[in-house]
């Protein structure tokens, strides 16, 4: 009811001058601390005239006001300052939504550009990296003069930056990021000169998440030759499983056929 009265009393305006809100997007895991900032440097007023609103993206959009913040959250900054912040501690999934700061002046309320907050369940410890390397048997590197490495990151649900560090100082972001990948994994690939790969240079795939979690995995031609893991896991093992399934099906079919024949002879 209070929120409705506020919206009826004030004329809402999207602030295009003097009111700036940041960051535009925040992705964190459950339990993290979040800080949203509203800069009113060019407005005539102080932080005590600022309110925060949260718009939740549900089947029926709801709007919540943050005149008084729930336990675990608080306002930050002096009331007479020009940089006004909203801190959320121990953020939970239901804190997700788009937050707007509102600046009240006379009979008008100016709204910030909005900060979208996405809270995800904490990732488990099963996150891991796999690197697919070029196959030497089909002459891929020799024919193209280049080697393509693919980094697959599994078990990371939050936004992440994936890049490559190649021995001898070459660093490359590669291509592909979490926004282009599936919910199951992040895919990033890089193409390097064939002579660099053939020389045994160590190629490292590095993953950095928004919550500060870092991990990496390295691979070189020597490792790939000694243990062609990508071929073993993605080609050989599935092939063996299929062959075993076919073998069991044939054996079972033969047994059933012999049982029927035996019953007919009796």
pLDDT at 185: 80
Of 72, 95, 120, which residue sits at a domain end?
120
Q: What is the pLDDT of residues 29-66, one digit of tens each?
A: 888 888 898 888 877 778 877 888 888 765 555 666 65
Q: Are residues 174 and 190 in the same domain?
A: yes
81 vs 23, more confident = 23
CATH number for 19: 2.60.40.10
Q: Furthest-apart CA pair in the chain: how many Å?
A: 103
Q: What is the mean pLDDT of the chain?
A: 71
151 confidence band (pLDDT: 50, 70, 90)? very high
Q: Are residues 62 and 138 in the same domain?
A: no
Q: Are residues 185 and 223 in the same domain?
A: yes
Q: Are residues 18 and 106 in the same domain?
A: yes
Q: What is the pLDDT of residues 57-72, one digit of tens each?
A: 655 556 666 543 444 4
pLDDT at 178: 45
Structural domain containing residue 79: 2-120
Q: Are residues 81 and 136 in the same domain?
A: no
pLDDT at 255: 57
Q: Does the model's pTM come out above 0.85?
A: no
Of 92, 120, 148, which residue sits at a domain end?
120
d(CA 73, CA 68): 9
Q: Are residues 110 and 9 in the same domain?
A: yes
In the chain, the number of structural domains is: 3
Of 72, 99, 120, which residue sits at a domain end?
120
CA separation (Å) from 110 to 40, 103, 142, 211? 10, 5, 63, 32
Q: Are strands 73-76 and 83-88 parallel, antiparallel or unpaired?
A: antiparallel
Q: Are strands 115-120 and 25-29 parallel, antiparallel or unpaired?
A: parallel
Query: Strands (DSSP E) along the chain, which ranges?
Result: 11-14, 20-22, 25-29, 34-39, 50-56, 62-65, 73-76, 83-88, 97-105, 108-111, 115-120, 128-132, 146-154, 160-166, 170-172, 185-193, 203-209, 214-219
Residue appearing with tokens 């002879």: 265
Give yes or no for residue 11 having a pLDDT over 50.
no
Q: Are residues 15 and 113 in the same domain?
A: yes
Report the range out of 29-38, 46-55, 172-181, 249-258 with the highest average pLDDT: 29-38
Q: Are residues 150 and 222 in the same domain?
A: yes
Distance of CA 169 to the CA centre of its chain: 27
Q: Are residues 99 and 14 in the same domain?
A: yes
Q: Are residues 77 and 43 in the same domain?
A: yes
Report the range out of 95-109, 110-124, 167-181, 191-205 with the highest average pLDDT: 191-205
Q: Are residues 181 and 219 in the same domain?
A: yes
Q: What are phi and psi of 229, to 5 degrees?
A: -60, -40
Q: Are residues 112 and 133 in the same domain?
A: no
Q: What is the pLDDT of residues 203-245, one digit of tens each?
A: 999 998 877 778 899 998 888 766 544 444 444 445 544 555 5
């Amino acid at each position: 009811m209070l929120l409705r009265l506020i919206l009826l009393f004030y004329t809402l305006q999207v602030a295009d001058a003097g009111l700036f809100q940041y960051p535009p997007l925040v992705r964190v895991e459950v339990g993290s601390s979040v800080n949203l900032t509203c800069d009113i440097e060019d407005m005539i007023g102080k932080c005590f005239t600022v309110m925060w609103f949260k718009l939740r993206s549900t089947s029926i959009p709801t709007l919540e006001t943050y005149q008084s913040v729930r336990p675990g959250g608080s306002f930050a900054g002096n009331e007479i300052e020009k940089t006004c912040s909203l801190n959320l501690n121990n953020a939970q999934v239901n804190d997700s939504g788009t937050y707007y700061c509102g600046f009240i002046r006379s009979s008008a309320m100016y709204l910030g550009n909005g900060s979208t907050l996405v809270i995800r369940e904490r990732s488990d410890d099963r996150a891991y990296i796999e690197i697919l390397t070029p196959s030497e048997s089909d002459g891929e590197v020799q024919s193209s003069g280049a080697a393509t490495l693919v980094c697959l990151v599994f078990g990371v649900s939050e936004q992440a930056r994936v890049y490559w560090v190649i021995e001898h100082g070459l660093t490359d972001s590669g291509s592909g990021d979490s926004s282009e990948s599936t919910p199951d994994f992040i895919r990033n690939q890089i193409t390097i000169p064939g002579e660099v790969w053939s020389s045994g240079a160590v190629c490292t795939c590095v993953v950095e998440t928004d919550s500060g979690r870092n991990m990496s995995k390295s691979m070189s031609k020597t490792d790939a030759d000694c243990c062609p893991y990508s071929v073993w896991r993605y080609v050989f093992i599935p092939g063996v499983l299929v062959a075993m399934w076919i073998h069991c099906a044939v054996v079972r079919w033969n047994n059933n056929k012999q049982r029927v024949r035996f019953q007919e002879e009796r």
